[in-house]
Amino acid sequence: MKKWWLIALFAFAAPLLSAQGLYLEPGFRYAHHLPLPIYADYPVYGADLRLGWQTDGSEAWEKFFNYPLVGIDFRFEHHTMKDYFDEESQKIIDLGNSYAVFGYCNGHIIKRPKFQFDYTWGIGMAYWPKGHNRLVSSPVTVHLNLDFGPVFKLNEQFDLYVRAVFSHASNGALKVPNKGINILGAQTGFRYFPKGRASEIRDRDYPFEKYNLIYVLDGIGVRESNTMLGHYCLGNTFEIGYSRAFHPCFRYGGGIDVLYTGENKIMYAYNHAEKQYKASDAFSIAPYIAGELCYGNFIGHLSFAYYVWQPAEYLPRHYQRYYERLSFRYNFGKMFFAGVGMKVHATKIDYIEWTVGANLYKW
């Protein structure tokens, strides 16, 4: 199996030999699970292989984000946690190895001829062959990555980097318990451009007019109740939003969420109050404010919302009066978009939402 993984990776990497700006980036990581005092005896050893390309300013967002690097990261982690006794579940946790694949964007906070200070954000999926435990509960999870660190340009083909790396794994409450796995550590490696770096376009103008946008979207998700295990519930968000683009890469706005969750009905059953439940108890309304990063047609969306109408007497245990949403969307042409996001109450995920939407009016 490992042989075929290697063959597939090298086959995928072969085009890197054919063009400027394409690169190969191996790295090695030493890390620990968080919180550190609890898991101090269980380090994590990992290796990454990034395949990517250097943006050159062909699009406006490439120049405004200071010519970031984008690509795909293949990540392997060896978890030494094999005999940790979990007090709550009264079971031994053996995490084994994990394998992740995620897309990333590597930007530059400082960019000098021989030195850079970079950041990377990424999102993808991870596979845990031994994932049936209280930390992740399922073998497939979402994988989030965030890292920062210096990069030293050695010549036209090689960079050397050191970075601090944080990663998070969660199954999005598709199965509970889902405490999630947080890992913090250090990574070092090099970046190799077989045909050298691409030339950056710096003398091009990008005409831009500020605009306003009205849009609608619908997001649907499924989760297991964290109150009555084995009971699954549907969640849905219908959103009417406004967005103001004041820069080619930045937008702000707000709107209204109309939310439905089937878990409210489960909560009434848990409290032996089924006869009190009404159809309207499944719904709530929350206004939100949002900020967005625009990488061309790819949009990163972060919003904060507060419930102003929530008629149910019995609510899921993880609910707060407020929630956050982190989502990623892609525009297919000028009107339609689709994406995926996470609705979170404080640090507790509510749903992974799969969204489709439309831009209704732009002026």
Please, what are the domains in the chain?
Answer: 20-192 (2.40.160.20), 211-362 (2.40.160.20)
Mean pLDDT of the chain: 90
Dist CA 147 CA 254 (whole Å): 29
**pLDDT for res 142:** 92
**pLDDT for res 247:** 93
**pLDDT for res 250:** 96
Dist CA 143 CA 354 (whole Å): 16
Q: For residue 116, which amino acid is it?
A: Q
pLDDT at 98 over 80: yes
Q: 151 with 168: CB under 8 angstroms?
A: no
Q: 23 with 191: CB under 8 angstroms?
A: yes
The structure tokens listed for 241 are: 């939003």
**pLDDT for res 324:** 96
Between 86 and 309, whose confidence is greater? 309
- What is the average pLDDT across 255-272? 93
**pLDDT for res 5:** 56
**pLDDT for res 4:** 61
Dist CA 31 CA 45 (whole Å): 6
Cα angle 228, 264, 240; round to 5: 135
Confidence category of residue 338, pLDDT binned at 50, 70, 90? very high
pLDDT at 224 over 60: yes
pLDDT at 10 over 90: no
Give 329's contacts (C-beta < 8 A, 6+ positions apart).
Answer: 298, 299, 301, 337, 338, 339, 341, 355, 357
Q: Is 265 helix (H, G, I), strand (E, B) or coil?
A: helix
- What is the average pLDDT across 250-279? 94
Q: Is 266 helix (H, G, I), strand (E, B) or coil?
A: helix
Dihedral sign from CA coordinates of 212, 214, 220, 226: positive
Q: 304 with 336: CB under 8 angstroms?
A: no
**pLDDT for res 91:** 79
The structure tokens listed for 196 are: 């050298």
Confidence category of residue 9, pLDDT binned at 50, 70, 90? low
Among 33-37, 84-88, 191-195, 336-340, whose mean pLDDT is lowest? Answer: 84-88
Please write the tens of the pLDDT for every residue from 57-75: 999 999 999 999 999 999 9
Q: For residue 287, which amino acid is it?
A: P
pLDDT at 315 over 80: yes
**Of 45, 47, 42, the residue nearest 94 (C-alpha):** 42
pTM, two decimal places: 0.87
**pLDDT for res 6:** 56
Please write the tens of the pLDDT for every residue from 144-169: 999 999 999 999 999 999 999 999 99
Cα angle 343, 348, 350; round to 5: 40
The structure tokens listed for 32 are: 């620990």
**pLDDT for res 138:** 86
- What is the average pLDDT across 182-207? 92
- What is the average pLDDT across 231-247? 95
Between 347 and 189, whose confidence is greater? 189
Dist CA 157 CA 124 (whole Å): 28
**pLDDT for res 95:** 87
- What is the average pLDDT across 85-101? 84
pLDDT at 47 over 90: yes
Q: 16 with 22: CB under 8 angstroms?
A: yes
Dist CA 46 CA 59 (whole Å): 34
Q: Please name the residue that has the structure tokens 């006869």.
A: 275
pLDDT at 131 over 80: no
Q: 294 with 61: CB under 8 angstroms?
A: yes
Q: How many CA atoms lie within 13 A of 105 on its CB side?
A: 18
- What is the average pLDDT across 213-221? 97
